[in-house]
Structure 1
């Protein structure tokens, strides 16, 4: 789909991997929850080098296109199966398939410009998996919209939403987490790390984790969204554990972790320390929120 940016939808990168199928399944539930279309996007890359030196490049391009179509069909079958049993609006989620030629990185970045959320599957192990990690991290850092990463064995429902509360300078992260918890009707666990170590990229405070000052500060940051979403039950936590370690620990029983990407500004496009740790080790789906060029939230 290449429609106008005001058409709300979720984009899933499809590449034939198990991780992509996991992403399609999870994203279908989110699309049903927020009542937006799901766009399955598969990119096949016709190499310019092969065009020049490969006498049968046309045949190879056709094969790549056929493979991309097969990957899309498999992902769409998974999505339709999930949509049919969705707890909200079962079977009503619009599922679109799109195949495009180009580089995956550039095409997914372009797709994120008009999306509410870009969803990517995580790969584990192997050299291709390592390369995929680098590409995924770069997409998280540079995409115009929030980016979700889904690992194998993700927790579908039942756990809390966990979010890292870094400071008052990241309201987008809290706002996104509150909106998701409101829509899902689940507990929001808000974790703030204090007394960050020397040289840490995370802004610490001068308060001990168990002090009244630290808790009062966290309560102050939570207050605006607690007023907007009075139905959301919040479990505020202050800890001296490094933020990435704490969030990974809580991810073991969570439905979702919402965290800031923490990276300064383009053109660097580098994830912050906490975002990198959560990206590498979280045990549930993670949504990385702002500072993007544009942050959009599911409607309440």
Structure 2
């Protein structure tokens, strides 16, 4: 379990790309809402290994990369201060690959924020695969900043699947909506039942079961957050499609993450993966607590 000071720490991945700066700005605004500090981190993957018998160059490639990393962090800190001048900002350059570096930092954070894609040094730190990687392995919730700003009054969309990650996901969504003073749109889909049109007579029963499952998932949260208006949607559709559709008018989509079979915890769920890649607004991926 993380300590209180760690829960008040937001880690942001930086790589010098415009997407990284958007992630920093989003995280700075979130830090104000949470009363949290910002920890800006970038990774340098290169280690000089001069060949035996050759003189060392006056200026190594590693020196240049560390110089660029420092500039990236300076730019990120300036972007954060423009949004939230009162927030405490720390910076760090780490030698290593992006996913393990950020995953390690997530063990001491309340939130990890990355961009949806990156075009900075080596297009590495915030590349789409890296965003999925940290969302898969991080020890804290991850926000992938992508899409557009749909305004401060836009709702928080919550994908409800009733799985093991359900309670943590619902809690994150309600807390985010309460901090922003906006509604929650809670979505539960029941997909396409097997068979053909002859199964249509039981669709009503399936829909009723889905309604009950959604109500059970939200039970208690509306009482805990009485000022958060809730709109419930039970839809006969593919979950990822519905969530991406709703993201076009949302300021945040919140989904859970779970793997399958023997790979539980090693892969991002198909719905979360699709939403991270296609949503029109930032996406929060909340993993179940590890026991």
C-alpha distance after superposition, 1:229-268 (max 9, x if no partner): 1111000000011100000000000010000012247676
How many residues align? The count is 277
Distance change (3 Å), C-alpha of 1:177 and 1:273 = same
Gaps of 5+ in 2: 195-201
1:146-200 alpha-carbon deviations (Å, 9 max, x no partner): 11100153335221000101116411111111111111111000000014455xx
Q: Secondary structure at the match of 2:187?
A: strand
Larger Rg: 2
Q: Please say if residues 37 and 95 of structure 1, whose CA atoms lie closer than 8 Å, have aligned partners that are also in contact.
A: yes
Secondary structure of the corresponding residue to residue 179 of structure 2: helix
User: How far apart, CA to CA, are the structure 2 residues paired with 1:19 and 1:209?
Assistant: 45
Q: Corresponding residue for 2:270? A: 273
Normalising by structure 1, we get a TM-score of 0.83
Alignment correspondent of 1:190: 186
Identify which range, 160-169 or 17-26, moves more after superposition. 160-169
Once residues 131 and 32 of structure 1 are traced to their aligned partners in structure 2, the CA distance between those partners, rounded to angstroms, is 23
Using the alignment, how far apart are the partners of 2:26 and 2:128 within structure 1?
19
Quote the residue 2:44 is aligned against: 44
1:136 pairs with 131, 140, 158, which one? 131
Worse overlay, 183-192 or 147-156 = 147-156
Mapped partners of 2:124, 2:223: distance in 1: 43
Q: 1:259 to 1:234 in 2, by over 3 A?
A: same
Q: Displacement, 1:103?
A: 2.0
Tell me which moved more, 35-44 or 121-130: 121-130
CA distance in 2, matches of 1:51, 1:96: 30
Q: 1:268 to 1:37 in 2, by over 3 A?
A: closer
Is 1:154 equivalent to 2:153 in the alignment? no
RMSD: 2.9
Q: Residue 24 of structure 1: CA displacement?
A: 0.2
**How far apart, CA to CA, are the structure 1 residues paired with 2:119 and 2:38?**
28
**Distance of aligned partners of 1:174 and 1:208 in 2 relative to their CA distance in 1, 3 Å threshold:** farther
Q: Which among 99, 105, 115 is matched to residue 109 of structure 2?
A: 115
- Number of the residue aligned with 1:298: none
Q: Does 1:244 align with 2:240?
A: yes
Change (3 A) 1:171 1:188: same
Task: Supply the distance in 2 between the matched residues of 1:191 and 1:215 (Cα, whole angstroms).
Answer: 10
Residue by residue over 1:62-93, the C-alpha shift from the partner in whole angstroms, topping out at 9 and shown as x without a partner, is: 1111100100011111111111xxxxxxx321
User: SS of the counterpart of 2:220?
Assistant: helix
